[in-house]
Amino acid sequence: MKGFVDNMADWLRAAEVVVGKAGPGTIAEAACCGVPLLLTGYVPGQEEGNAEFVIAAGSGRYTPSVEALISEIERLCTDPAELAQVRAAAVRSSRGDAARRVADLVVTLAGSSARVRSDRPGL
């Protein structure tokens, strides 16, 4: 066990797959590193949509039982083409320009807000 590490991206890039629950941080980090996800669970309501996103994107699988998890690990480790396909889907889902897009949106919204406020005396 390593405990906390400050080079998580290195560890993720070295992995064939990531196994865990559908937490947004785990999903984002795995996607940015192009690592397929095997999701073992999710917090109902809060993370259910995250699992649906991963499955729909093709960047991972939902494996709610030990048997399903083992079966999927075996499948991906013995089928390099399937592993490559899921890995490619993980890369496509990464949204590498997300921070810039959010910043652009904030600037646009701030500009709109400033214009509205300048039109209204006292605001």
pLDDT at 35 over 90: yes
> What is the per-residue pLDDT for 98?
78
CA 1 to chain centre: 24
Percentage of the chain beyond pLDDT 90 is 69
Task: Report which of 34, 30, 41, 35 is spatially closest to residue 17, judged by C-alpha positions.
Answer: 35
> What is the per-residue pLDDT for 68?
97
**pLDDT digits 0-9 by tens, 62-119:** 999 999 999 999 999 999 999 999 999 999 988 778 788 888 899 888 887 655 455 5
pTM: 0.76
> What is the per-residue pLDDT for 59?
96
pLDDT at 8 over 80: yes
pLDDT at 55 over 70: yes
pLDDT at 121 over 60: no
Helix axes 48-57, 80-92, angle to 10 degrees: 120
CA 66 to chain centre: 22
Sheet bearing 37-41, strands edge to edge: 18-21, 37-41, 60-62
> What is the per-residue pLDDT for 119?
54
Number of Cβ atoms within 10 Å of the Cβ of 121: 6
